[in-house]
């Protein structure tokens, strides 16, 4: 069973997350940041990863700690659920349109974390969320999930469409990469023998 639970309790946040990599895209997400909830719901729905995440953070300061720590916890849960990463396809890519916007995500579930972020916004906020925090979430998720992750918005004007297409592209690329390869279901997809 490719499932995991992670609990994180700090002076800034208390977060509990459960994921099932072989789910159906069911979610129950409450971070206290409405727009972040909406994006994580998109991630769950389009990756088919079941996600339950409950977060309490120091939102009286701002959304930074809750956003970053949500990425940390989901990344850790992904890494734990993948285990040795045996049998996975490993690579995934998606090109996702949303109205006038087109975003590309390519990733390698390599256990070598790296983020390339080529995304710009015309607005400072979406709802109550600072748009600069989206990079922090992707960085934390890549770092703790062991992903080499490239996110590039090719074009678009609407900031909502830009970030939503990025989360949907991440979801579709991740879905592809973590699928079990029926031709090599018992092997780690690396000539080194481990990831």
Q: List, edge to edge, every strand of the sheet that includes 13-20.
A: 3-9, 13-20, 50-57, 27-30
Residue 147: phi, psi to the nearest 5? -110, 135
Rounded Cα distance, 20 and 25, in Å: 9
Q: Which two tokens stand for residue 35?
A: 């727009």
pLDDT in tens, 39-91: 999 999 999 999 999 999 999 999 999 999 999 999 999 999 999 999 999 99
pLDDT in tens, 79-98: 999 999 999 999 999 999 99
Q: Which two tokens stand for residue 47?
A: 């990756």
CATH class, range 3-178: alpha beta
For the chain, how many helices (H) and strands (E)? 4, 10
Rounded Cα distance, 136 and 146, in Å: 15
Q: In the chain, what are the helix, strand and coil shares in percent, each to the nearest 5?
A: 35, 30, 35
pLDDT in tens, 95-141: 999 999 999 999 999 999 999 999 999 999 999 999 999 999 999 99
């Amino acid at each position: 069973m490719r499932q995991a639970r992670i609990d994180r309790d700090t002076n800034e946040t208390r977060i509990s997350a459960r994921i099932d990599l072989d789910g159906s895209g069911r979610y129950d997400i409450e971070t206290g940041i409405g727009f972040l909830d909406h994006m994580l719901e998109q991630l769950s729905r389009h990756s088919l990863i079941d996600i339950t995440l409950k977060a309490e953070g120091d939102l009286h300061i701002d959304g930074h700690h809750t956003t970053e720590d949500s990425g940390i916890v989901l990344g850790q849960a992904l890494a734990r659920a993948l285990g040795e990463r045996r049998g996975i396809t490993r690579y995934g890519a998606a090109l996702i349109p949303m109205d006038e916007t087109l975003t590309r995500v390519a990733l390698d579930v390599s256990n070598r974390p790296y983020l390339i972020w080529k995304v710009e916004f015309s607005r400072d906020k979406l709802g109550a969320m600072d748009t600069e925090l989206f990079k922090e979430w992707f960085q934390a998720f890549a770092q703790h999930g062991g992903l080499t992750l490239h996110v590039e918005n090719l074009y678009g004007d609407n900031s909502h469409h830009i970030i939503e297409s990025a989360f949907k592209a991440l979801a579709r690329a991740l879905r592809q990469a973590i699928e079990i390869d029926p031709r090599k279901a018992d092997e780690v997809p690396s000539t080194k023998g481990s990831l």
